[in-house]
């Protein structure tokens, strides 16, 4: 399994995406803290974090008996750059910003 494959496989599961959402909101959390946000057993969460770590989407630092988890945006950006060139990016961002503006005025 190559690097790309690891990243995309890691992103394919909703629980793992939710873990990334949690870390996007606030970095540096432990396994136990992340587990408390999910319905799943600790073993399940640990397995998912391992997959994210092996894909380099999450990087970790040990602090005593705790292991702190951080979101790494680099692989995400590389996914983007694979299929969106600079020219297309300009159009797509403009389109999505327009869409966001319209939805704001609706509410």
Write out the residues near a second copy by the rule CB under 8 A: 4-5, 8-9, 11-14, 17, 20-21, 24, 71, 73-74, 76-84, 88-89, 92-93, 95-96
Q: How far is the CB of 34 from a second copy (least distance, A)?
A: 16
Among 17, 59, 67, 72, binds DNA (CB under 7 A): 67
Query: Do 34 and 48 touch, CB atoms closer than 8 A?
Result: no
Backbone angles phi, psi at 57, to 5 degrees: -80, -20
**By C-beta, is 45 or 71 nearer to a second copy?**
71
Q: Which are the contacts of 56, defined by CB distance < 8 A and separation ≥ 6?
A: 3, 6, 7, 72, 74, 75
């Amino acid at each position: 399994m190559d690097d790309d494959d690891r990243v995309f496989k890691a992103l394919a599961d909703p629980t793992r995406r939710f873990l990334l959402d949690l870390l996007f909101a606030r970095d540096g959390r432990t396994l136990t803290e992340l587990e408390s946000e999910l319905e799943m057993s600790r073993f399940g969460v640990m397995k998912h974090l391992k997959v994210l770590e092996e894909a380099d989407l999450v990087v970790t630092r040990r602090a005593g008996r705790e292991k702190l988890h951080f979101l790494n945006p680099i692989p995400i950006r590389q996914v983007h750059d694979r299929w969106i060139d600079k020219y297309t990016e300009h159009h797509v961002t403009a389109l999505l910003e327009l869409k966001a503006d319209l939805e704001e005025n609706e509410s």
